[in-house]
Each structure stands twice: as C-alpha cells, then as structure tokens.
Amino acid sequence: MNERKTNYPKSGRAFNEAVRSIPGGVNSPVRAAGGVDISPLFIEHAEGSKIYDIDGNEYIDYVGSWGPMILGHAHPKVLQAIQAAAEKGTSFGAPTLAETALAEKIIAAFDSIEKVRLLSSGTEAAMTAIRLARGFTKKDFIIKMTGCYHGHSDSLLVAAGSGLAESGSPSSGGVPDSIAELTIVIPYNDIDAARKAFEMHKGKFAAVILEPVAANMGVVPPMKDYLQTLRSLCDENDVLLIFDEVITGFRIALGGAQELFSLTADITCLGKIIGAGLPAAAVGGRADIMDTLAPLGPVYQAGTLSGNPIATAAANATLDILAKGNCYQKLESSAALLEAGLTKAAKDANIPLTINRVGSIMSCFFTERPVRNFADVRSTNIKQFKRFFAEMLKQGIYLAPSAYEAMFVSLAHSQQDIEKTIEAAQNTFPRLKN
C-alpha cells in the first residue's frame, strides 16, 4: 500500500507502521480516511467533547466513536460502573442480574419490544434479525434500501440489481451470488419501488429491513408518511418490518425513531449507545417472534460475550442517565444551534449547502438540492466536502472522514464548542470557492 502524506507526523509514522501488520493499516475500513485523502489520525485519549491525537492536537469531536458517545467521552458515572464491574470479573459466560436489568430498560423504552436478546455488535444484531425473520415466516427473500448499511453479514452486503426491484448482486468479495439473489435492493424514500417489489415477488418476503432515519449515507430523514406507508405495506403482505436503530436508538429519542415518528417495528436492532463505547448490541421485538430463538425455538444464535458484564454495566449507567432530566432537549438545542450557525456561514459565503438533521445527528451536503436518497448523496460535491473536512481539521474540528457519514452532537458539547465550530466554518467556507 502506498504511503500517504500527512501534516501530523506521529500519526503518519504510526500509520505507515500499521500497514505492515494490519490490512490497510486499520481494523475498520472507514478509519483509513481514504475518503478525504489523508492518513488517519491515531488517537491517544478523549474526554468530554474533546479527542486528542498522538501528536498532542486537541479536537472538538463530532464522530463520537461513530455515535455511541452520546454522554461524551469518559463520562465519570460510566467509568465508575465499568471499574466496579471489572473488579468482579471481566466475563463469566453465565447469566447476570445486570443483563436482566438492561433488557428491562430497553423494553421500557420501546413499545414494540416485548423481549430482547443481548449481543455484541450492530452487525450481529442485523444478522440475527434477518435469520429470525426468515425462521419465523418460513420465507427467504428480504428487501433492503440502497445506502442503508446494516453491518457486514453476507445477506446485507448487496448492491442494487440492474433493474428496479430486481435481485441484488454482491457488493463485496466473498459473498455468493446465491445469497445476494435473496435480497431485493430498492431506493430509500421510494414507496412506489416498495410497492413494485411486493408485487413482483409476492409471497416471497420474510422482511423489509431499513434504517428508519438513514445515517450511513450521511443523514437522510424519511419523507412524510414513508415509514407509515411501508408499515402498512408490510402488514398487508404478511412481511415483518425490521428497523435498524443501531444509530437512532436512544440517540434521536429515548425510544429511537419509533418514538419520534409514532410507529412500531416487528423487530428492532440496537447498538452503539447501549454499549457506551464498549461492544454491546441487542435485537428485540414481539414475544412470539423472539421466542423462536434458541433455546426456546429453532432459530439459533449464541455468543460467549453476549451480555458481557463490563459492557452491560456501561449500558445500564448510560441508559439511566438518558432516562432522567432533559437530555434530549439539551441535545436538540445544541444540534439546532450548530445547524443554524453552519447554514448561515455557508449562505454568507455563497456556498451551496444542504444540512439534513434529525435530533443530534446531522450531515452537511455540498449541494443546493434536497438530499432524499443515496443517488442524491452521490450527486453532491464530494471534492468540496474533502476540502471542508481538511480545513476544519486544521482548526481543531474533528469530523467523520467521509462525505457519507454523520456528525454526532453529544451532551458534553458546550455552547462554547458549538460557537468555536461555527467560527471555524465561517473561516472555512470562503476558502472553498478558490
């Protein structure tokens, strides 16, 4: 792999060393920062709203470990819970009271969840949800939306076929065509495409899976009545609706997108925030569906580290904090202030900018048109985003190193942080015209 130049010498050297022992130098592809043409920053520590690289630079962090750090980094109560749990042992492979406590908190937050299985990653949650839907319905086909990411299991690494509502094709090496053909890929926010898919493959679908608020192609909210109509279509066709709320769950409301948009899914995938930065996730839903999981039913799922006591302690501490006080009002206020400031800064500099925001997640798209699906995202000015990223980084603002990712506002972001970010944008936007 070619070495990339960097203005951050220690991180640059660390990356060049890493590529000798780690594929691509990173343990998850987006960390390679190839989408913004820099070497990745190597992080030394983080606290509150700030993150610090090994060169000693401080940044206001809007990545938040890709979403879970809703309280900010190294929150004292979460650290206390982790330390207390670790002192009792790091893993038992046996039930604990903390697992039941966490399950009950999740069930209390989501009206659609009657039972829940704890897992270790969002990928595992989505994979389990698909297997569960197929086992429950005795049907094999699923629908997913272009641009919605549900982890790297084989059924979900699928690109759109040659025609609307046609079988998908593998989007990764190692995914057999025979598996990809069971996934129909249609555009997000296109209810007519969903209707056509149901008509073309009538009686074959086990489930529709989607992010209710797309957040892996940047933030793309659902259009008016889209989710409600999709819910009705699933009911009419005896198909399960799976909401991947790995990002939105406990983020845009305590009960996620389902609370925000007043509707329910049959199966819900959760992650990110319930781990508070540790590997933890969950899949939950109606009791009759969930009871098909082993050991009660024929659908197998297992994991030695599922409900790990340290991750569960962090999750319980985080959800206890989020359930009290005015957390979501504060997140909304901070995010709205940031959105308004960035919008004004771009307008003052005559830079076309569309900001999509739902609660405390948002994306800046360099276009004057609305962004409603993955095709719209891909038509935006990616080169301009790369320059925006680089200029903001120089001024101490840490954004996701990809035009297809979200910004995350946390409870630790202060008004001063927001104002500094807006000031950096005011300095940056005029430079993007050159």
What pLDDT digit, counting tens, does each position of 137-162 carry? 999 999 999 999 998 888 888 876 54
Cβ contact 136:289 at 8 Å: yes
105 and 49 inside one domain: no
Angle 280-328-407 from CA coordinates, rounded to 5°: 65
Tokens read off for 297: 């039913």
pLDDT one-digit tens code per residue, 280-317? 999 999 999 999 999 999 999 999 999 999 999 999 99
* Mean pLDDT (whole number) for 237-252: 98
Same domain, 102 and 21: no
Q: What residues make up the domain containing 170?
A: 76-322
DSSP-assigned letter for residue 24: G
Which residue carries 């206890």 as its tokens? Answer: 320
- Give domain status of residue 2, yes or no: no
Q: Which of 282, 303, 322 is the last residue of a domain?
A: 322
Does one domain contain both 333 and 428? yes
Listed residue (434, 347, 396, 400) closest to 28, CA to CA: 400
- Same domain? For 270 and 283 the reply is yes
Q: Give me the CATH number covering residue 209.
A: 3.40.640.10
Q: Are residues 30 and 119 in the same domain?
A: no
Q: Does 295 fall in a domain? A: yes
Q: Do 174 and 261 sit in the same domain of this protein?
A: yes
Does some domain include residue 3? Answer: no
State the CATH number of the domain containing residue 38.
Answer: 3.90.1150.10
417 and 382 in a common domain:
yes
Token pair belonging to 128: 């389990």
Residue 253: Cβ-neighbour burial (10 angstroms; 0-12, 13-18, 19+): buried
- Asked if 149 is an active-site residue, the reply is yes
275, 297, 322 — which closes off a domain?
322
Residues 295 and 255 in one domain: yes
Minimal CA–CA distance to 139: which of 229, 232, 237? Answer: 237
DSSP per-residue letters across 90-139:
S--SS--HHHHHHHHHHHHH-TT-SEEEEES-HHHHHHHHHHHHHHHHT-
Q: Does the pLDDT value for residue 267 go beyond 60?
A: yes
Catalytic residue among 8, 52, 149, 328: 149
In eight-state DSSP terms, residue 40 is P
Domain count along the chain: 2
Tell me: do 198 and 333 sit in the same domain.
no
Selected catalytic residue, list 244, 266, 376, 417:
244
Give me the phi and psi of 268, to 5 degrees please: -125, 130
pLDDT at 3: 42
Closest CA to 277 of 69, 125, 84, 427: 69
pLDDT tens figures, 320-354: 999 998 999 999 999 999 999 999 999 999 999 99
**Same domain? 140 vs 190:** yes
Asked whether the beta carbons of 141 and 182 are under 8 A apart, the reply is yes
State pTM to two decimals: 0.94
Catalytic residue among 272, 328, 398, 404: 272
Question: 360 and 391 in one domain?
Answer: yes
Nearest to 255 by CA among 356, 360, 107: 107
Q: Measured between alpha carbons, how far is 155 from 170 in angstroms, rounded to an integer?
A: 9
Residue 4 lies in a domain: no
Residue 217 included in any domain:
yes
CA distance 249 to 39: 31
The answer to whether residue 1 is domain-embedded is no
The CA distance from 326 to 418, in Å, is: 19
Query: Does a structural domain hold residue 20?
Result: yes
CA distance 277 to 295: 29
Shared domain for 80 and 192, answered yes or no, is yes
Nearest to 363, CA basis, from 373, 351, 350, 354? 354
Residue 314 covered by a domain:
yes
Do the beta carbons of residue 148 and residue 160 sit within 8 Å?
A: no
Residues sharing a CB contact under 8 Å with residue 60, sequence separation 6 or more, in sequence order: 49, 50, 396, 397, 398, 413, 417, 420, 421
372-427 pLDDT, tens digit each: 999 999 999 999 999 999 999 999 999 999 999 999 999 999 999 999 999 999 99
Instruction: Answer yes or no: 398 catalytic.
Output: no
Tens of pLDDT along 48-62?
Answer: 999 999 999 999 999
Of the three residues 294, 322, 350, the one that is the final residue of a domain is 322
Q: Catalytic annotation on 52?
A: no
Work out the average pLDDT over 248-271: 98
